[in-house]
């Protein structure tokens, strides 16, 4: 190791006490010390790197001056002049010259850097998150604005609808589907129900329009005529941008039915061609009182009850009615699993008044205010908050004699099948058989109970006397009617477990060949 002039003077110095340059860490930050013997300057290898030290060496100091340099440390001493060790530069073997540094600063570097870096990184992350949220909000606000602009181009609450209907009203009225919750924006002036609902026809996700659009549409409907009344309230024919819709207005005492039906119609994946198409649901303030609206597709043929009262059907139409009703009930009953799955749904009030006849003479099931849902993973039957019961004339024996287990979803489905058998009987009675015979419309048990039977009356007829609707003998002479007769009797069996399932009914109906093969329905439900 080479020794420069200052180092040589230091090694040959006297032992007179001098002031030494001192490592602030060991000298209480005053920077110097009074040597009892010599001053020193050293380089030491620490865990965090090379550290230069300086200070005073007393007589009893463990430090040894001018020891041979190694890979781990090097030390030089002096006592020539005050602060002489300031110019000593020890060198490790194989290393570079090391100038004096304060290892206290070195050791404090990491905490200081961390105290600066962590808040800075946090600020950057927060800023990035706020930016992403802002972009997300702007994008969805833009979509909402486009929807508002599109639907606002039609008639207002009390305005006049456009003179010329927009879009294809047949596609809207009889599409039978419900809308997705992730629709693309539509162009103002070109919006129709087909535009708003059409995206869901192929997307396979969601049901019902976004709630913002539902509220906008409901406030732009012009009521035209009242087309029906019921225990829930009234049904009106309405117009939105020249297209017809049905508006079901609930009475104030039936709020739970409105809430439950809204909840069911917004079920993911509920949309189906044989389930009444849902458009919107909202509370409307008119004439200083609040109305609860449920807006659906409008079907000019009305309910199946109305249709059968005024029309007879041939065997092909009878099968079309029956098959479409079975398809709709199967879709309700089936549970669709997956990320956006659909729960199994039991209707609980299936009857001809709650089934609509579409222009193509197929049917769709409506009025889901009493529906119950079920998921197999939790095995929970959700009956909602609605305490109303179904129509007594269509109640299964286990309901009338209070045997139904409300915690068993299978029993709710069996009760639906019983009611479907009665509906089939009503349709078949209005069918012209091969001999041309047909009878006037009558509801089930018309010859056993009064027009509005009590619960006890129905229990005595169905449970005690075990009466079922009469199957006319002349049906046996008609191939299609005889098969329908056997099918409906299997639907209204006394024991719920002995009844056919809705899926079995659907498959049995598909095996009944219509009179005209070219009109046979090809139904793909599942």
Show the tokens assigned to 141.
């606000």
Q: In the CATH hierarchy, which top-level class contains the domain 5-101?
A: mainly beta
Domain boundaries, the chain: 5-101, 138-298, 302-526
Using alpha carbons only, give the angle 198, 160, 195 rounded to the nearest 5 degrees. 10
For position 385, what pLDDT does the model report?
81
The superfamily CATH assigns to domain 138-298 is Phosphorylase Kinase; domain 1 (3.30.200.20)
Please give the model's pTM, rounded to 2 decimal places.
0.62
Residues 6+ apart with CB under 8 A from 154: 161, 162, 191, 220, 240, 241, 242
Instruction: Tell me the average pLDDT of the chain.
Output: 78
Task: Let me know if the fold of 138-298 is the same as that of 302-526.
Answer: no
Give the burial class of 117: count Cβ atoms within 10 A of its Cβ; 0-12 exposed, 13-18 middle, 19 or more buried.
exposed
Using alpha carbons only, give the angle 177, 182, 185 rounded to the nearest 5 degrees. 100
| Axis crossing angle, helix 409-429 with helix 315-333, rounded to the nearest 10 | 170
Note if 349 is an active site residue: yes
Selected catalytic residue, list 23, 254, 349, 478: 349
- CATH code for the domain defined by 302-526: 1.10.510.10
Using alpha carbons only, give the angle 429, 433, 434 rounded to the nearest 5 degrees. 170
Phi, psi of 365 (to 5 degrees): -90, 130
The conformation of residue 447, written as its DSSP 8-state character, comes to T
Percent of the chain predicted with pLDDT > 90: 41
Q: What is the 3-state secondary structure (H, E, C) of 184-236?
A: CCCCCCCCCHHHHHHCHHHHCCCCCCCHHHHHHHHCCCEEEEEEEEECCEEEE
Tens digit of pLDDT for each residue in 370-410?
999 999 988 999 988 877 788 999 999 999 999 999 999 99
Tens digit of pLDDT for each residue in 216-239?
777 888 899 999 887 778 999 999
Show the tokens assigned to 320.
């079309």
Tens digit of pLDDT for each residue in 346-364?
999 999 999 999 999 999 9
For position 354, what pLDDT does the model report?
95
**100 vs 428, residue with greater confidence:** 428
Q: Which long-range contacts (CB under 8 A, 24 or more apart) does 283-286 make?
A: 284/218, 284/219, 286/157
β-strand pairing of 49-57 with 73-78: unpaired
Tens digit of pLDDT for each residue in 483-508?
999 999 999 999 999 999 999 999 99
* CA atoms of 265 and 332, how far apart (whole Å): 11
């Amino acid at each position: 190791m080479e020794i420069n002039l200052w180092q040589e003077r230091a090694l040959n110095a006297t032992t007179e006490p001098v002031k030494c340059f001192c490592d602030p860490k060991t000298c209480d930050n005053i920077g110097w010390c009074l040597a009892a013997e010599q001053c020193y300057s050293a380089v030491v290898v620490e865990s965090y790197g090379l550290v230069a030290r300086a200070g005073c060496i007393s007589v009893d100091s463990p430090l040894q001056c001018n020891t041979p340099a190694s890979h781990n440390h090097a030390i030089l001493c002096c006592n020539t002049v005050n602060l002489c060790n300031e110019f000593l530069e020890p060198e490790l073997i194989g290393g570079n010259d090391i100038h004096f540094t304060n290892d206290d600063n070195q050791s404090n570097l990491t905490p200081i850097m961390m105290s600066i870096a962590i808040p800075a990184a946090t600020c950057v992350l927060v800023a990035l998150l706020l930016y992403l949220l802002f972009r997300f909000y702007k994008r969805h606000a833009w979509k909402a604005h486009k929807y508002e602009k599109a639907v606002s181009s039609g008639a207002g609450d009390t305005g006049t609808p456009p003179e010329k209907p927009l879009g294809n009203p047949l596609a809207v009225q009889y599409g039978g589907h419900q809308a997705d919750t992730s629709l693309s924006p539509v162009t103002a002036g070109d919006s129709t129900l087909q535009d708003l609902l059409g995206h869901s026809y192929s997307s396979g996700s969601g049901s019902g329009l976004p709630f913002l659009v539902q509220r906008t549409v409901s406030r732009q409907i012009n009521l035209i005529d009242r087309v029906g009344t019921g225990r829930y309230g009234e049904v009106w024919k309405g117009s939105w941008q020249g297209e017809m819709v049905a508006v079901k207005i609930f009475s104030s005492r039936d709020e739970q039915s409105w809430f439950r039906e809204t909840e069911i119609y917004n079920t993911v994946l509920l949309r189906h061609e044989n389930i009444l198409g849902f458009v919107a649901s909202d509370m409307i303030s008119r004439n200083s009182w609040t109305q609860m609206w449920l807006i659906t597709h409008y079907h000019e043929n009305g309910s199946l009850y109305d249709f059968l009262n005024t029309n007879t059907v041939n065997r092909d139409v009878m099968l079309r009615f029956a098959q479409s009703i079975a398809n709709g009930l199967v879709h309700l009953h089936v549970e669709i699993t997956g990320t956006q799955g659909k729960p199994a749904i039991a209707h609980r009030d299936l009857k001809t008044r709650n089934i609509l006849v579409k222009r193509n003479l197929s049917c769709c099931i409506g009025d889901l205010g009493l529906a119950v849902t079920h998921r197999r993973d939790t095995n929970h039957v959700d009956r909602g908050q609605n305490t109303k019961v179904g129509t007594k004339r269509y109640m299964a024996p286990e309901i009338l004699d209070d045997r139904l287990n409300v915690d068993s979803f299978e029993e709710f489905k069996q009760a639906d099948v019983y009611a479907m058998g009665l509906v089939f009987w009503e349709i078949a009675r209005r069918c012209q058989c091969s001999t041309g015979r047909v009878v006037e419309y009558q509801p089930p048990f018309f010859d056993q109970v009064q027009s509005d039977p009590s619960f006890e009356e129905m229990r005595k007829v169905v449970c005690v006397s075990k009466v079922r609707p009469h199957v006319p003998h002349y049906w046996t002479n008609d191939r299609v009617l005889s098969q329908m007769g056997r099918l409906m009797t299997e639907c209204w069996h006394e024991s719920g477990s002995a009844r056919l399932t809705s899926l079995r009914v659907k498959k049995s109906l598909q095996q009944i060949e219509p009179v005209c093969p070219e009109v046979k329905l090809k139904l793909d439900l599942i």
